[in-house]
Amino acid sequence: MKPSLSSLYQSVELCQDIPPLLIGERCNSNGSKRFRELLLADDFDGCLKVALEQESAGAHVLDLCSAYAGRDESRDLTTLVRMFAKSVKLPLMIDSTTPECIEQCLRLYPGRCIVNSINLEDGGVNIRRICRMVKRHGAAVVALTINESGMAMTTDDKVATAKAIYDIAVGEFGLRPSDILFDPLTFTVGAGDESLRDAAVQTLDAIRRIKSELPGVMTVLGVSNISFGLSRQSRRVLNSVFLHQAVEAGLDAAIVDTAKVLPLARISEDDRRVCLDLLYDRSDAGAEQGPLMRFIDHFSTAATDGDDDAESADHGVPQEQLATKVLDGDKDGLEDVLSILLQRHPPLAIINQILVPAMRHVGELFGRGELLLPFVLQSAEVMKAAVDFLEPLMEKADADSSTKILLATVQGDVHDIGKNLVEIILSNNGYTVYNLGIKVPAEVIVEKACELRVDMVGLSGLLVKSAIVMKESMVQYRDAGLGVPILLGGAALTRKFVAEECVPDYDHPVVYCADAFAGLKAVREHEEGVLQSTAYEAAAAVRRMKPGAKNAEVLRTNPVPETPFLGARHVVDIDPAKLFPLVNRQALFRGRWGYRRAKMSAEEYADLIRNTVQPIYDGLVKRAVDERLVQPKVAYGYFPCYSQGDTVVIEHDGREFEFRFPRQTEPPHLCIADYFRTRDEGGDIAGFFVATIGRAIGEETHRLYDTDQYHDYLMLHGFSVEVTDALAEYWHEVMREELGIAADKPEGLTGYVTQEYQGSRYGFGYPACPDLDAHVPVFRLLEPDLIGVTLTENMEMVPEQSTSAIVAHHPQAKYFAV
């Protein structure tokens, strides 16, 4: 008589002619949102429907679990067992951790079922209780290879635990070997967790050895555990390939979603190869990436993630629930889900096997334009909250094992939004990040890097000067023996600059990272051992156009306006309400905040703006006014001057202040100095301003960052920058009016963007005058310290929400780049 199970209606052999025995997993209150919701609504008929669907889909046996905190498991389970026994032809697997419930079900089940499960977690008490009742009722039983130290990870451990269970079940209680289905457990290879690279092999070898060293026993596996953290569509393929490998190794039964199992014949050669490489941790000779990245890339270029499968949306094992919360940026009920998971999983496993892959998935969706940056940050907030909850429960040693990255904004530079985004993304992908803040000298970076024993250093900076600082510090880092790869990021950098100016002077990889996700990729490549310095192919590179009129004769005879005064004045009572109409919302929403159109239709995007983004903006305007976060102040003035070649010479207080401006090397060879008359032509006047919206908003922004409110941090920071710009726009208009050249009024905001007015302002540090050393004379002329603005050692203004400019009135003056 072959080992079999039975229901009221039929018997089912444990060893199927075409293995494996398929055990349907959907009637599980922990595993299926749909089933859980039916149960909570007391819709037992609905629960039965889920059972019958699986029967139609080809399951041989059905797993049944109805445990839910607050409900009477005994009543639910026995009700369902009675109903299923009558109406479902398939034998059942009673899935419960409560011995009393198991006993009740065994008593009323009219056939031979499987009990799920026994293990050695508590050293042997529970297993004996259950074996006793399994023997008495003649049932079969699933045995998990969990011992007192936890889940067995290696083949040796799995086999040893199985043998210990065998000795009790068979040796003490007289069960037959074929009454036991050993589940050697499997862990995900989809998390990028280094310690799990061979998880599949450990499981497959355990199946082989258990079948050979414990003759007559059965084996079972929860197949989908192999692919946690990967996209829904790729999981389906990997699960199916893994199942096939497991069956070849001797697996008898598998707990699956029967509707989702793919026969090997329906899986393409390419898909199969990528799956096998991942399962067996095989590197492709010549490929740059490891098997996991290749797997992810392969399936991400395939059909989209938008599996419009109603069922898949409700797949809710606690693991999936947690991953979904990260994906949705949803903190509701987070601690409940974590608590459930902690019953079975150590905190580090939850982080490495569920949270980190979920964040990685978020990053992939961002890379494909399917998730916008603000939503990425909301996901990161969930991640952070989860890790904060788990951290106190972790061993210190666990925390030390992740890759460590040191971040700093370089000497003289106060900008940190980009660097802080890198910290958010890296730390919420499981890495340890040390953020040294702004204006950090190279010596401090070396000192801290050694002290903290970091694996990588990331440098950031906005200014052109900062790029030079980075380049010059490469030799310093080499000579100091820093010894780790350096990542470089910041608006002033280019791939070319990094490749040609920075890479050669350092003895480890130097890598240009355009944004936080490029940084993340670099860290991963470093872990896989494939990180390389940035290279620049001059021939292949695209030579950007240089916009602008190609020939321009600058008129020398335009009139010089009369100024209302000469010298500097300070204005401190500017009404913030005057600024908001001038805020460039397009640049704010799309550029700063990252609400790009991406793959949305015009209508979808309009809805997003109307329902989500504009309200955020309106809320910030209100906050800014109510909490006095915007306190606009200006130091400005008009000064007699004359141009001399590339220099504008300001005359003030009996002294001369020189401003040397760069000249374009290509036609039309423009230079700011050209817009001012020479001494021979009669001299001219120049306007200057330094404007700020004050310190309060920057302080509040940093408070948001320090309290991990990433989304609001990004919003407020972007808002503060654009309001500062609006102030510059506003004050430039005031100056035009004072000079009497404001006849041309710009039409709408676009008019301001395209400079439909007379003259132009040129911000120091911007393309027409990149050298911030010009701030020295500006600060002498205007005394902006009286409005609370100071300079760093690299002439950058503090607070960040400040801006400066020289104002030219010449009708032909417009923005240009040198």
| Residues near other proteins (CB under 8 A) | 542-545, 547-550, 584, 586-587, 590-591, 596-597, 602, 749-750, 753-754, 767, 815, 817
Looking at the Cβ atoms of 310 and 545, the one nearer to other proteins is 545
Looking at the Cβ atoms of 539 and 602, the one nearer to other proteins is 602
Closest by Cα among 424, 704, 723 to 592: 723
Residue 725 Cβ vs other proteins, minimum distance, rounded to whole Å:
10
Residue 550 Cβ vs other proteins, minimum distance, rounded to whole Å:
8
Residue 593 Cβ vs other proteins, minimum distance, rounded to whole Å:
10
Residue 594 Cβ vs other proteins, minimum distance, rounded to whole Å:
9
Residue 510 Cβ vs other proteins, minimum distance, rounded to whole Å:
23
CA dist 459 and 511 (Å) reads 10
Looking at the Cβ atoms of 25 and 729, the one nearer to other proteins is 729
Copy the structure tokens of residue 672.
Answer: 């700011």
Beta bridge partners of 220: 253
Residue 752 Cβ vs other proteins, minimum distance, rounded to whole Å:
9
Give phi and psi for 440, each to the nearest 5: -95, 120
Looking at the Cβ atoms of 2 and 544, the one nearer to other proteins is 544
At residue 230's C-alpha, the angle toward residues 228 and 235, to 5°, is 80
Looking at the Cβ atoms of 538 and 545, the one nearer to other proteins is 545
Looking at the Cβ atoms of 310 and 542, the one nearer to other proteins is 542
Dihedral of CA atoms 520, 521, 522, 526 in degrees, nearest 10, equals 100
Residue 744 Cβ vs other proteins, minimum distance, rounded to whole Å:
17
CA dist 226 and 239 (Å) reads 7
Looking at the Cβ atoms of 10 and 586, the one nearer to other proteins is 586
Q: Can you tell me whether residue 589 is helix, strand or coil?
A: helix
CA dist 698 and 210 (Å) reads 63
Looking at the Cβ atoms of 582 and 673, the one nearer to other proteins is 582
**Is residue 706 within a helix (H) or strand (E), and if so which, with residue range?**
helix 696-706
Looking at the Cβ atoms of 399 and 549, the one nearer to other proteins is 549
CA dist 213 and 197 (Å) reads 26
Q: Which residues contact 452 (CB under 8 A, 6 or more apart)?
A: 404, 406, 434
Residue 304 Cβ vs other proteins, minimum distance, rounded to whole Å:
20
Whether residue 648 contacts residue 768, with contact meaning beta carbons closer than 8 Å, is answered with: no
Copy the structure tokens of residue 677.
Answer: 């008359």
Looking at the Cβ atoms of 642 and 675, the one nearer to other proteins is 675
CA dist 460 and 438 (Å) reads 9
Closest by Cα among 180, 63, 82 to 130: 180
**Can you tell me which residue has the tokens 């987070």?**
334
Residue 698 Cβ vs other proteins, minimum distance, rounded to whole Å:
22
Helix 232-248 to helix 269-279 angle, to the nearest 10 degrees?
Answer: 70
Q: Where are the alpha helices (DSSP H) in 430-463?
A: 442-452
* C-alpha distances out from residue 87 to 47, 81, 90, 527, 759, Å: 12, 10, 9, 54, 84
Residue 586 Cβ vs other proteins, minimum distance, rounded to whole Å:
4
